[in-house]
Amino acid sequence: MIFQSTRGKQRVSLDEALVMGLAGDGGLFLPLELPQFSTDDFAAAKTVAETAQILLRPFFAESALAPELDEITRETFRFPLPVTRLPVSGGYAGLLELYHGPTAAFKDVGAGFLAACLTRLQGDTDNPLTILVATSGDTGGAVAAAFNERPGMRVVVLYPDGRVSERQAHQLTCWGDNVLSLAVQGSFDDCQALVKGALADKVLSAQYRFSSANSINIGRLLPQCIYYAHSSLEHFRATGRKPGFIVPTGNLGNGFAAFLAKEMGLPIGDMILATNENRLITDFLGGAEWLPRPSIQTLASAMDVGNPSNMERLRSMFGEAGEIRQRTQAISVSDEIIQKEIRRNYNEFHLATCPHTATATFAWRELDDSERTEKDWIMVATAHPAKFEQIVEPIIEAEVPLPADLADILSRPRHFVKIEPDAEALAKALSENFSN
């Protein structure tokens, strides 16, 4: 399959797109054509891994990884991704729980898949591949865990110092010698700009063999399509109805993956994007000009993004705001409402939800009565509430038990380097910590 940059005519293979991360012209790779499926194509798929093998096979048809695709999907989808039905009166509401992986966040799926692919493609102990990842909270921990101690692979995690939860910060900074954690004295947007700048720096990129594990890498998006495909197929088989999805979003990678799954013919109904007070997406779909702005620090910290990268893919695929509005809507949720929603979810459903998931449940509650009760909805639970215990526990007045994998991670010692948000500081940190 051929992948083309959103900014020009650069075309590459899947394997090249996985390794490059970002196109040479600064654009993001998209499939030149999407494969089309019917529900019957997945009749034999009973597990998430089996759904993944069918959905991803066309993308890997000419890849060096094609013979290993089944093994890669089994390695990636080794933990459950259940949909839990909520006890609501009238209609159907479910919660797609994407937090059962090793770092208790949905990013474990994309990061694990990309690590499995890149290790097989590019693992070289004499000349390691260096994965750059900017994170607003969850991505970096998932990527570090996925690549930790893999031969021939190194990871550089850039996170906004003081703008992630304590447990998120621990997850970002407790790995082996092949992981360099950089506490950037700035925002997530500063971190993302540093990654994009480094990838575009031909000298530095050649020296360290850079690639990216943010959702700018198509290798992150493709596996994220799978849980939308599988959960919608299971629901459609059971009910004959296409579920709509409500997706909390910051950099728009998870939301864009849902659009991809729908465009490939999966039985997905309406799409709603939930944002926090960083409302660029909401304002754009409401008619405002797309003008990136400084990010605002909120309780839903993993969504604190002022310039969502994947809007470039969404606009490339569908057009401008008017065309996108025909396919989705977006709602912005304040910190005050997030707090009320966490309390309400616990009181009504006896369920602790993280601040990001609370934006999705609020968007569901805001639907018209007919929309909420006559259609089926699956809300995406992106992270385990135990990662945000300092926010969640005082609100619900109860302790949130730690998942075993997360407890193990939090028992490890931390190590990180503080840097200013500029290219020179990044280059210095690389030079001092990695020999090339």
Output the tens digit of pLDDT for each of the chain's 436 residues.
Answer: 999 999 988 999 999 999 888 898 989 999 999 999 999 999 999 999 999 999 999 999 999 999 999 999 999 999 999 999 999 988 999 999 999 999 999 999 999 999 999 989 886 778 898 999 998 777 888 889 999 988 889 999 999 999 988 888 999 999 988 999 999 999 988 998 999 899 889 899 989 989 888 788 999 999 999 999 999 999 999 999 999 999 999 999 999 999 999 999 999 999 999 999 999 999 999 999 999 999 899 999 889 999 999 999 999 999 999 999 999 999 999 999 999 999 999 999 999 999 999 999 999 999 999 999 999 999 999 999 999 999 999 999 999 999 999 999 999 999 999 999 999 999 999 999 987 6
The Cα–Cα gap between 174 and 171 comes to 6
Q: Phi/psi of residue 157, each to 5°?
A: -100, 125
Strand partners for 184: 160, 419
What single-letter amino acid sits at 334? S
CB-based burial label for 211 (10 Å; 0-12, 13-18, 19+)? buried
Question: Measuring CA to CA, which residue among 52, 98, 53, 94 is closest to residue 79?
Answer: 98
Q: Could you tell me how far CA 358 lies from the centroid of its own chain?
A: 17
Buried b (16+ CB within 10 A) or exposed e, 122-134: beeeeebbbbbbb
231, 157 in Cβ contact below 8 A? no
- Give one word for 350, left, alpha or beta, with left for phi > 0 and alpha for psi -120 to 50: left
| Pair of tokens at residue 343 | 């309390």
The Cα–Cα gap between 105 and 95 comes to 14
CATH topology of domain 80-106+219-402: Rossmann fold (3.40.50)
The Cα–Cα gap between 337 and 342 comes to 9
Secondary structure of residue 96 in the 3-state scheme: strand
C-alpha dihedral (53, 54, 56, 60), degrees to nearest 10:
90
Q: Give the tens place of pLDDT for each residue, 386-424.
A: 999 999 999 999 999 999 999 999 999 999 999 999 999
Q: What is the pTM of this model?
A: 0.91
423, 201 in Cβ contact below 8 A? yes
Secondary structure of residue 130 in the 3-state scheme: strand
